[in-house]
Amino acid sequence: MTNTLTPPGRPVGDGAVAVKPDDRLAADKRYKIIEATMRRYGYQGHGLIEALHSAQEAFGYLDDFTLKYITRALRLPPSKVFGVATFYNHFTLKPQGVHTCVVCLGTACYIKGAREVLSAIESGHGVKAGGTTADNQLSLLTARCFGSCALAPVITFDGETIGKVAPQTVAGQIAQRLATSALR
Amino acid sequence: MPRTLTINGQEVSAGNEQTILEAARDANIRIPTLCHLDGLTDVGACRMCLVEVVGSNKLLPACTTRVQEGMEVHTDTERLRAYRRQIIELLFAERNHVCAVCVANGHCELQNLGIAVGMDHVRYDYLFPRLGVDLSHERFGMDHNRCILCTRCVRACDQLEGAHTIDVLGRGARSLIVRDMNVPWGESTTCTSCGKCVMACPTGALFKQGSTVAEMVHDVEKLAFLRAARERKVWNV
Amino acid sequence: MNLEELNATATNERLAQAKKNHHLHVCVGTACQALNSEQIAKALQTALRQQGRNGEAEVKCVGCPGLCSLGPLVEVASRVNGGPTQPANESPADANHRTAVLYQFVKPEDAEEIIAHLGGEPVKRLETPLDQPFFTRQTKVVLENCGKVDPERIEDYIAVGGYQALLKVLTEMTPQQVIDEITRSGLRGRGGAGFPTGLKWGTVAKADPNRYPTNVPEGIQSRKFVICNGDEGDPGAFMDRSVMEGDPHRILEGMAIAAYAVGANHGFIYVRAEYPLAVKRLRTAIRQAQRAGLLGNAIGGTAFSFNVEIRLGAGAFVCGEETALMASIEGGRGTPRPRPPFPAESGLWGCPTLINNVETLANVPPIILKGAEWFAGIGTEKSKGTKVFALTGQVKNTGLIEVPMGISLREIVFDIGGGIPDGKEFKAVQTGGPSGGCIPAQFLDMPVDYESLAKVGSIMGSGGMIVMDDSTDMIEVARFFMEFCMDESCGKCIPCRAGTVQMHRILTKIQEGKATTRDLQILEGLCDLVKHTSLCGLGQSAPNPVISTLRYFRDEYLSKVKPG
């Protein structure tokens, strides 16, 4: 069995030219951020979660290539890295849309109608929780509590907290933000 | 410094580093287990070996609890029997365990426990999840429908073979046993095809290809043997 | 810096602040920030400049003053003309030569008006009384600096007495004396279990680091560890977030004192990833404390060294459990381990480890400075001190409160909380999050302490307190919490992994009108199984909401099941 931990150059979905792994590492500056994190922990295994955080923040999700890169750098078994990446809610292995909206389903928000808020966004934008709209503009996620319970129900849009939302108006608020950013 | 404790009213002598499970075994007292396997570390996950200890208001897992001098242990009370029956029923309801068509029929630890706890029906709703079967490896197969997530295969691969090919994806009831980054077994680059995971599996989840119904027998003693041989450096070659 | 330098810094800071007659405290906690409080702060500063009042007033960004439902909040603390020079950070409501005004629902456009009214009559339309029960019935210990100090300036913390406790401990007390003081105070773990803190510290201090095999990674110089549990996963709880955002130095000081007491030289603060502002403030605080010589090597010029680093959670409620948290710091999946051995003897990388909740550690500096007897004088016989609660749900005043143990539920809900809005009736209050229970109206006069809450089938928990009115469907509440536990279960042990799924299934059946009395029996049997055979606290307490709603609202269940 050949050692294929180093992924061979293969065509990427959008028609871009196949690149050898080292080329991609060199070409994409974001890998330097991840490298810096791993170096801070002496490339030891206990820095895995911090490394995954860096990667998630830099790329928006953890793709196969990046996971393998971290696996090699930290000298961990690939299954272990994969097991950790899939255990935690925060990490996602699927690419996200241009914008992300997270609906809080914590207790205080739930009592104040978070379920209806979620349904309103789902029907208003044609996307289910955990998915992305067809035009890749909006990803809809749920979370268990942001700790801003006094503003219940709460959603975030690209990290910005929006409190006291209502099912009747929330889809419109999001549409407005999508339109504003499209104009820029 | 040996310790004396009583198990089910019987006085038992044990070494001070022994667990209640080990001490009971030495005294021929059987405590049911599922996630325990001689040769592997214990994780206390299946909760089948929980015992009542006088003075403790919590039930303690016999496989990970060390004996204390003067401990009074009860392993087979009505309460414990009721709990064990419920746990086995939960397992049968959780995935698709159909003995009649299983390679491990007659040689299965889950089935044996089902009989031992007197399970004649399952009170919980069968969930019938649709799980896959991986036959990509040339010699072995993995049927997730029969997996009880005991993680014996994970520990065998990590502790005895040293490859750590196997780990767990996700969490909760959505957990799945995976190899490398969830690749088909045949495409794993770290697997050494040693077969220890197959030896370790208590059910028909891991099996040798070519086995038909009731033909799969797991050679669990071999794992304990390998571990002991390594630790005691038996071979002088 | 040593004690002399600390005192000098404190005095200088107080003098500098005393030069201004007015201090405007703008809350920049996450919730108020979501309502533009940072723009408010900027607008106030601009208005000060434009009205030429820069020399007499100063804008300070602070942590959460508590009354979140009226946010954004701005507090104006003013010195009456001719009054003596006093430390700028005394509670304005106390000192009678100072006045304070609290403005609610502030918008950036209000800045000019607020500045124009400095020293004169307050802006009536924005004012909310500071002598309302929400404030007067609270006892602030853990939150005493939140809303008063700028969390991003160590000098501000020092000015109110910060790091005095740490230097006192390092120069005047032995580790055993520190443990004795904490033990005598009666402080119990505020993360939910209520385990006596002094006892835990003592166990770690006595633990032999060679007893169990260890594998500390290279580069970490310590044989024992202190971990601050900032994972606050209970939905509806934001006490720890507010302390981490509003008074981060307090936590560092508490950790350092704990480390000295137990013999640790390295510490971790585990913060959930959903709290980016808390992470940022803590990082800043660590840097500032290190630069000031109050953290790191040779603290205060003594031989004691203590380094702190932050570790991020990644969205797993189970990582609030001690052994799962440690597994996460070690870089693995957050699955708990059977105990014994307990973390105090074999924890992080096998070493003796002290894990304490944020709120527990925040209580430590005042206990050292004011004494165990002072702390033991607050609260009840078995539950000493105060407790911070996040009061939310169907109640008028939602926000953060700190009350002495033993206060009644009625006082919290109706006096401090202002009662139920929209003319609805009180139905129940849920404490302890997904691990707790619902308490019905018949217990409104019960004291809030560890034992009393356990007796009625709930727990203190970390402090989430959710008020429910008569429109709440209690079975839906139980089902909501069971869904949460089911999603967050790590999957290691069978009772929790499979049991929560089956319990959730039955609760859903009940809601859909498809359940029978037999299903109810099976549900109760599962509650018993999961509670007594699960490996960790998540599973063991997952049935609590079901058990408590079955106990007090059984008729709701019975009305929805068919015979059979």
Q: Do C238 and A44 touch (CB under 8 A)?
A: no
Inform me whether the pLDDT recorded for C96 exceeds 60. no
Inform me whether the pLDDT recorded for B85 exceeds 70. yes
Average pLDDT over residues B124-140: 96
Residue of chain B whose Cα is closest to the Cα of C501: B173
Question: Which residues of chain A make contact with B189, given a CB cutoff of 8 A?
Answer: 1-5, 78
Domains for chain C: give ranges and CATH numbers: 17-132 (3.40.30.10), 161-375 (3.40.50.11540), 386-469 (3.10.20.600), 474-558 (1.20.1440.230)
pTM recorded for the entire structure:
0.92
From the list C338, C499, C529, which residue is nearest B44 (CB)? Answer: C338
Residue A75: which domain range? 12-87
From the list C340, C498, C529, which residue is nearest B94 (CB)? Answer: C498
Q: Do C491 and B86 touch (CB under 8 A)?
A: no
Inform me whether the pLDDT recorded for B107 exceeds 70. yes
Q: Place A14 in a pLDDT band, splitting at 50, 70 and 90.
A: very low
Model confidence pLDDT, tens digit, residues C6-50: 999 999 999 888 888 899 999 988 888 888 899 999 999 999 999
Q: Place C93 in a pLDDT band, splitting at 50, 70 and 90.
A: very low
Domain check: are A80 and A105 in the same one?
no
From CA C152, how far away is CA C154, in angstroms rounded? 7
From the list C316, C486, C499, which residue is nearest B90 (CB)? Answer: C499
Mean pLDDT lowest among A157-161, B73-77, C136-140, C143-147: A157-161
Closest approach of A184 to chain B, Cα-based (Å): 38
Best CA proximity match to C25, nearest among C83, C85, C92 = C92
Domain check: are A103 and A83 in the same one?
no
Residue C422: per-residue pLDDT? 92
Domain check: are A80 and A28 in the same one?
yes
Calculate what percentage of chain B has a pLDDT beyond 70: 99
Domain assignment of residue A1, yes or no: no
Supply B222's token pair: 């071999």
From CA B165, how far away is CA B198, in angstroms rounded? 13
Domain of residue A119, CATH code:
3.40.30.10
Model confidence pLDDT, tens digit, residues A128-174: 998 899 888 999 998 888 778 878 899 999 888 888 899 999 999 99
Domain check: are A60 and A128 in the same one?
no
Residue C29: per-residue pLDDT? 86
Domain ranges of chain B: 3-76, 82-232
Domain check: are A68 and A105 in the same one?
no
Calculate what percentage of chain C has a pLDDT beyond 70: 97
Inform me whether the pLDDT recorded for C239 exceeds 70. yes
Best CA proximity match to C463, nearest among C142, C26, C136, C29 = C142
Average pLDDT over residues C85-111: 67
Closest approach of A159 to chain C, Cα-based (Å): 10
| Of A63, A87, A111, the domain-final residue | A87
From CA C480, how far away is CA A48, in angstroms rounded? 33
Q: Does domain B82-232 bear CATH number 3.90.79.10?
A: no
From the list B170, B182, B190, which residue is nearest A77 (CB)? Answer: B190
Best CA proximity match to A144, nearest among C211, B95, B123, C464 = C464
Average pLDDT over residues C271-290: 95
Domain assignment of residue A120, yes or no: yes
Asked whether B105 and B204 are in contact (CB, 8 A), the reply is yes
Residue A37: per-residue pLDDT? 96
Domain assignment of residue A47, yes or no: yes
- Give 3-state DSSP helix, strand, coil % of chain C, rounded to 5: 45, 15, 40
Q: Place A11 in a pLDDT band, splitting at 50, 70 and 90.
A: very low
Domain check: are A81 and A105 in the same one?
no
Average pLDDT over residues B7-14: 94
Best CA proximity match to C543, nearest among C473, C486, C472 = C486
Average pLDDT over residues C509-516: 96
From CA C433, how far away is CA C411, in angstroms rounded? 20
SS3 C196: strand
Q: Mean of the per-residue pLDDT values for chain C?
A: 92
- Count of domains for chain A: 2
Residue C324: per-residue pLDDT? 97
Domain assignment of residue A6, yes or no: no
Residue A181: per-residue pLDDT? 84
List of residues 6+ apart from A152 with CB closer than 8 A:
A104, A106, A108, A109, A111, A112, A114, A163, A164, C392, C398
Average pLDDT over residues C385-391: 95
Element (H, E) at A53: helix A48-59
| Of A60, A87, A114, the domain-final residue | A87
Q: Do B166 and A79 touch (CB under 8 A)?
A: yes
Residues 339-378 of C with CB under 8 A from A: none
Domain assignment of residue A33, yes or no: yes
Residue A22: per-residue pLDDT? 72
Please state the length of chain A: 184
Q: Do B169 and A5 touch (CB under 8 A)?
A: no
Tell me which CATH code domain B3-76 carries: 3.10.20.740
Residues 229-288 of C with CB under 8 A from A: 232-238, 241, 273-276
Domain check: are A78 and A128 in the same one?
no
- CA B47 to each of CA B73, B220, C60, C185: distance values in angstroms, whole numbers, following the listed order: 16, 20, 55, 38
Question: Is the ipTM above a cut-off of 0.90?
Answer: yes
**Mutation to test the C interface, candidates B43, B59, B71, B90, most C Cβ within 10 Å:** B90
Asked whether A177 and A169 are in contact (CB, 8 A), the reply is no
Average pLDDT over residues B21-45: 95
Q: Mean of the per-residue pLDDT values for chain B?
A: 94
Domain assignment of residue A127, yes or no: yes
Sheet holding C437-440, edge to edge: C399-404, C386-393, C464-469, C426-431, C437-440
Inform me whether the pLDDT recorded for C236 exceeds 90. no
Domain assignment of residue A165, yes or no: yes
Residue B170: per-residue pLDDT? 96
